[in-house]
Structure 1
C-alpha cells in the first residue's frame, strides 16, 4: 500500500513537473515572440526616424549650399565693385559773394515762442516749403 502510494505520489509529481515545464516553455516561447515582435517594431521605427533625420539634414544641407552659392556671388560682385571704385581728391574752394561785417541782429531778444517761429521760418526759407 505504501508502495502504491509512493508510486502514485511520484506519478503526480512527474505530471505536475511536466505540466510546469510545459507551461514554462510555452511562456518562454510567448515572451520570446513578444520580444522579437517589439524589437522588429522598434527597429522599423528607428529606421523611419533615421530616414526622416537624413531627409531633414539633406534639405538643410541643400539650403546651406544654396546660401553659400549666393554669398559667393555677392562677394564676387562686391569685390568687383571695390575694384571699380576710384578715389578722386580735389581741393574745394568756396567763394563768398558778400562779406558781412555789420551784424544787425545781435541784440534781437526773442522768447521761446518767437524763437520757434523764427526757426520754422528759417527752415521754410532753406527748403522752400511751407512749415
Structure 2
C-alpha cells in the first residue's frame, strides 16, 4: 500500500524533498552569512577596543609624565624657597647678633651714666633725662611698628594656612 502511494505520488514527494533541501540550503546560507557578519562585527569591535585601550594607556603615560614634570618643578621651587629661607635666616641671626651687641653697649653706657649721676651737675642730669626720654620714645615707636608688622604677618600666615588645599 505504501509502495502504491509512493509510486503514485513519487513526483510530488521528489518535489517536496527538493523544496525541503532548497529551503534547508537557503537556511544554511542565511545562517552562514549571519555567522560571518557577527564575526566581522566582533573583529571590528575588538579592533576598536584595542584602539581605545592603547589610547587610554597613552593618555595614562602622558598624565604620569606631566605629573612627574609638575612634581619636579614643585620640588625645585621648594628647594629654591628653602635656600632663600636659609639665607634670610642667616641674615636675621646676624642682625639679631648686631642688635644684641648694640643693646649691650648701650646698657653699659647707661650703667656708667647711672653711676656718675650722683656727682653730675644739674644741667647734665636734665640732658640725660631728656635724651633718655627721646630714646625711650623712639624705642616705643620702633616696637609698635615691629608689633604691627608681626601681627600682620601672623594674620597672613593664618589666611594662607586656612586657604591652603589639604
Shorter chain as normaliser: what TM range? Answer: 0.5 to 0.7
Which whole-Å CA distance do the structure 2 matches of 1:83 and 1:10 have between them?
106
Query: Residue 48 of structure 1 is aligned with which of 69, 74, 81?
Result: 69
> Shift in Å at residue 27 of structure 1?
0.6
Unaligned runs of 5+ in 1: 94-131
Which whole-Å CA distance do the structure 1 matches of 2:26 and 2:39 have between them?
20
> How big is the alpha-carbon RMSD for the aligned residues of Structure 1 and Structure 2?
1.3
Large movers: runs of 4+ above 3 Å? none
Q: How many residues align?
A: 93
> Shift in Å at residue 4 of structure 1?
0.8
> Shift in Å at residue 37 of structure 1?
0.9
SS at 2:48's partner residue?
helix
Q: In the alignment, what sits opposite 2:30?
A: 9
- 1:77 equivalent to 2:78? Answer no
> Shift in Å at residue 92 of structure 1?
1.1
Which whole-Å CA distance do the structure 2 matches of 1:24 and 1:50 have between them?
38
Q: In the alignment, what sits opposite 2:10?
A: none
User: Structure 1-normalised TM-score?
Assistant: 0.67
Q: In the alignment, what sits opposite 1:29?
A: 50
SS at 2:123's partner residue?
coil
Name the one with the larger helix percent: 2
Q: In the alignment, what sits opposite 1:98?
A: none
Unaligned runs of 5+ in 2: 1-21, 125-166
Instruction: Report matched runs for 1:59-70 at 5 Å.
Output: 59-70=80-91
